[in-house]
Chain A
Amino acid sequence: MIEERFDAIVVGAGMAGNAAALTMAKRGMKVLQLERGEYPGSKNVQGAILYADMMEKLVPEFREEAPLERHLIEQRFWMMDDRSHVGMHYRSDDFNEERPNRYTIIRAQFDKWFSSKVREAGVTLLCETTVTELVRGERERIVGVRTDRRDGEIHADVVVLAEGVNGLLGTRAGLRARPRPDNVALAVKEMHFLPRETIEARFNLRGDEGVVIEAAGTISRGMTGMGFIYANKECISLGIGCLVADFQRTSQTPYGLLDQFKRHPSVAPLIAGSEVKEYSAHLIPEGGYKSIPQLYGEGWVVVGDAAQLNNAVHREGSNLAMTSGRIAAEAIGLVKSRGEPMSAANLSIYKKMLDDSFVIKDLKKYKDLPPLMHTQSQNFFLTYPQLISKAMQNFVRVDGTPKAEKEKATLKSFVRARSWTGLFGDACRFARAWR
């Protein structure tokens, strides 16, 4: 056993773990952080978008130091069928501001930098160390961790589980359930490299301006899923994800979907001639509010993806991760400053503080949307995109048909596909879940 005793052990060096470790170290706590990868970021996969507001709360000067790709000035939503897309694009020069709101980043590079800030603050980081087990003391209290290093038992007052969506420790210790196939999506992603000027020309960008595309429709072949295309400086992150339960049910392959997405006539010209340099995959928590597990207990808290804190509607995860990490650390700091033990009763303040933040408020707002999207996937990801695409084509194609007839045909196609009650029901269900 390692004799040295720590105030806190943080398992994982992703967004949540780094935020927690940094916040505790800044408060003078003695923190040990354990990461199973060769370096921080080597096991982390994200699109990725960085949300400045939440990052600023951790490292105010990040804009000057961090490896950022492009600041986002445009967001495109594409509803796709096999040969077309109907788009809603929002682009604004307002986003060319002194302190931009969102950036694209490359996680392995960003996390390395983030970790350097964490270590500067005094955290001891041990990489290439897999935590295998939580150690229990009296009355089932978590008192430390066991790692795969020799003499790998280490003790601390509290353990912060920032172990990601696949976190084994919490599950093995019975603190939370394993993610269910209908609560997580599998996303696959490729990094496509192109000259900077080519990316800027293809996406209509100047300098470090950036754009992201979120796409849904027939690309997921009736499964609950989405595609994404993010412009970085010299590469494009491109990927697609669907619920694991849907992959299981349909026998579709993730790489088949990805290749089909890449060959779509709206996508192929954007990546033509690119060199692929990495292929990755990752699970995304999609269960929302109803899938959040117990967040604290005797000597432990759980943060980030491990706690299923992901807003599937807005595609936000890393900001929920870093905010939950920071809030958990502040809660721990509070308990410590009072000189009280890290008991469940005392740590419950973490949940109260998180409930008051946007993290839980946003997830609560959309609590009914994940189940709706999961049960109605055929309609929302196949039928409607096809209908809307046909309606748009009918609207813009000039062929001598009187407009009144065109409108009638469009309306008829919707009613034929879903019936009046179906259309009305879908609209009501969607509105209710969104509200």
Chain B
Amino acid sequence: MNVESLVRVEDKLYYNRYLVDIGHPHVKVRAHTTPSPQLLALLKACPARCYELNDDGQVEITVDGCIECGTCRVIAEPTGDIEWSHPRGGYGVQFKFG
């Protein structure tokens, strides 16, 4: 049984509270034609499923649901595949319980 197909991450993120910094994403994917193995790993490893493949086979990010764990930084920043910062002060996920 494929467990992943049964899990809707979007539903999980819906529990959380965010202050989205519109127009200022804190993580950016470097422009590429073919994604590196590191970028492809993020499709699975990101716990908020922020990374997706677009129709042209490139990896894209939507940071709105990011829970700021830093996994993508550890995997894909060393290769220069992504630019990673913290959100601006006050923005991003605001944990009620943590």
Contacts and interface: CB of A to CB of B under 8 A. Distances in A.
Interface of A: 36-39, 41-46, 48, 106-109, 111, 127-130, 132, 147-149, 165-166, 168, 178-181, 184, 186, 188, 190-191, 235, 244, 247-248, 251-256, 258-260, 276-283
Contacts of A46: 98
A279 B74 CA distance: 21
A106 B97 CA distance: 6
B89 A244 contact: no
A279 B69 contact: no
B19 interface: yes
A127 B88 CA distance: 11
Nearest to A275: B15
Contacts of A132: 85
B interface, by DSSP: helix, strand, loop or mixed? loop
Contacts of A107: 95, 97-98
Given A36-B86, A168-B86, A255-B9, A186 B97 contact: no
Nearest to B45: A247
A62 B78 CA distance: 42
B69 A282 contact: yes
Given A247-B45, A278-B16, A279-B16, A186 B98 contact: no
B71 interface: yes
Point out which of B86, B87, B89 has the most chain A C-beta atoms below 10 A from its C-beta.
B89
B4 interface: yes
A166 B95 contact: no
B7 A276 contact: no
Contact of B98 (A108, A166, A254, A276): A108
A260 B45 contact: no
Interface string B9-21: 1001101100100
A38 B90 CA distance: 5
Interface string B45-56: 101110000000
Contact of A244 (B74, B86, B92): B74
Nearest to A129: B89
B31 interface: no
Given A149-B89, A168-B86, A111 B98 contact: yes
A290 B12 CA distance: 36
A253 B4 contact: yes
A130 B67 contact: no
A130 B86 contact: yes
B96 interface: yes
Contacts, number: 150
A247 B61 CA distance: 19
Interface residues of B, number: 41
A280 B19 CA distance: 15
Contacts of B73: 166, 178
A178 B89 contact: no
Contact of A190 (B12, B71, B95): B12
B52 to A, nearest CB: 13
Contacts of A149: 89
Contacts of A111: 98
Given A166-B73, A281-B48, A255 B78 contact: no
Contacts of B71: 186, 244, 247, 281, 283
Contacts of B78: 178
A127 B90 contact: yes
Point out which of B75, B92, B95 has the most chain A C-beta atoms below 10 A from its C-beta.
B95
B70 A166 contact: yes
A279 B12 contact: yes
Contacts of A168: 84-86
A43 B97 contact: no
A248 B43 CA distance: 10
Point out which of A42, A276, A283 has the most chain B C-beta atoms below 10 A from its C-beta.
A42
A278 B48 CA distance: 12
B95 A280 contact: yes
Contacts of B29: none
A252 B44 contact: yes
Contacts of A258: 7
21 contacts: A42-B94, A106-B98, A107-B97, A108-B97, A129-B90, A166-B86, A168-B84, A178-B74, A186-B47, A188-B47, A235-B97, A244-B71, A248-B75, A254-B45, A254-B47, A255-B7, A256-B4, A260-B3, A277-B96, A280-B67, A281-B69
Contacts of A283: 69-71, 74
A162 B91 CA distance: 19
